[in-house]
Amino acid sequence: MKELLQLYAVFFRIGGLTFGGGLTMLPMLKYELAEKKGWVTEEELLDYYAVGQCTPGIIAVNVSTFVGYKRKGIIGAIFSTLGMISPSLIIISILALFLEQFMSNQIVVHAVAGIKVVVCALMLNTVVTMAKKSLVGGLCCVIAAAAFVLAVFTPVPTVLLVILAGILGVILYKAGGLKV
Amino acid sequence: MKVFWDLFIEFFQIGLFAVGGGPATIPFLMDLPNRHDWYEKADVAKMLAVSESTPGPIGINMATYAGYNAAGFAGGIAATLSLVLPSIIVIVLIAKILDKFNKNPYVKAAFFTIRPAVTGLIATAVLGIWETALFTTEDGSFQFPIGSVILCAVFYVVMNLKKLKKLHPAFWILCGAVFGIVFQM
């Protein structure tokens, strides 16, 4: 029971402190789950993101379900996901009453402008540390660069890029060019 | 009671068919007002802006907002739970399968090449976040806010200082909010 409550609490914190949704919670996930708790490795977080991209639903929820399931099975998955969505439920329900006033409040506008800048710095920080960990060897660098270029300059859907990368790994393994 | 059933059906469908995370839910959310009067199409753009200013995933925020408009606080809960239910089912199934096959060399090989690809994709997404957060004005044209860019670089350097590396990301977010208010950004 204690770990279930911990799962709820950790994801409540992540859900409640992430601005901009989805990917912007990566710095928080990395800090809370990989560095502080040691519940998952950074490689596993990347795997969860990969699967989350190719499966239906919101990525944040997919990742929390994955981590919860890994720790405590189905009930863990449910507690993590409930933790992740609780802050939104509370905040949006309160805000729904006076949305216009909130959005035009000058203090909120200034605070959000500052938060945006920090989120940009945090995201850069995360992608740099992730690259250092996951880009081992020339092949990895080529794949990462190819995925980046294709995603920025062509309309190839993200799902397809993830699947193609997976197929490439299988082909290379079969051809004997990849040791796992 | 019918409104709860409608919320369940609509948001369960969105949760099941929106592949690719939060942004993938937007076309579905734009389509909803054609069938229900829970919110108007223009509200989706407003909600996107609100979601940037409030914590939490955009898809969840939007579901809560639509459900709240339809049937109050309980409606918000119903819509949000319906949205995440398909994810929980699908991911638990996949996690089960991965547990079984994670020693399989083909699965390992696939993930070995998927990981760097995902890093590349995350870099792409970070670029997108920069573009909207820093380099786009409210009416959608390009800008180069030199002050914000320098501030961003300063934050990046400071958060990588040896003594500050272990600080919670939320600390920096709070710093950003205080900075924004003090300097009227």
Query: Do A55 and A129 belong to one domain?
Result: yes
Number of other residues whose CB lies within 10 A of the CB of residue B28: 17
Query: A81 contacts in B (CB within 8 Å)?
Result: 84, 87-88
Are B133 and A20 an interchain contact pair (Cβ–Cβ within 8 Å)? Answer: yes
Structural domain range at position A169? 136-180
Query: A127 contacts in B (CB within 8 Å)?
Result: 119, 122-123, 126
Question: Mind telling me how many Å the CA of A7 is from chain B's nearest CA?
Answer: 15
Q: Which of A134, A151, A167 is the last residue of a domain?
A: A134
Predicted TM-score of the model (pTM): 0.83
Domain boundaries, chain B: 2-101, 103-143, 145-185
Q: Is A78 part of the contact surface with chain B (CB cutoff 8 Å)? A: yes
Query: Do A119 and A30 belong to one domain?
Result: yes
pLDDT of chain A along its 180 residues, tens only? 899 999 999 999 998 888 766 677 888 888 999 989 899 998 888 888 888 878 888 888 888 999 999 999 999 999 999 999 999 899 988 888 887 788 788 998 898 889 889 989 988 988 888 888 778 889 999 999 999 999 999 988 888 898 999 999 999 999 987 777
Query: Do A105 and A166 belong to one domain?
Result: no
- Give the DSSP H or E segment for B163: none
What is the four-CA torsion angle of B163, B166, B170, B174, rounded to 10 degrees?
-10
Q: Is A3 part of the contact surface with chain B (CB cutoff 8 Å)? A: no
Substitution target in B48, B60, B156, B164 with the highest count of A β-carbons within 10 Å is B60
Q: Token pair for residue A66?
A: 């994955």
Q: Kindly provide the b/e burial profile for residues A138-150, where b requires at least 16 CB atoms within 10 angstroms of the residue's own CB.
A: ebbbebbebbbeb
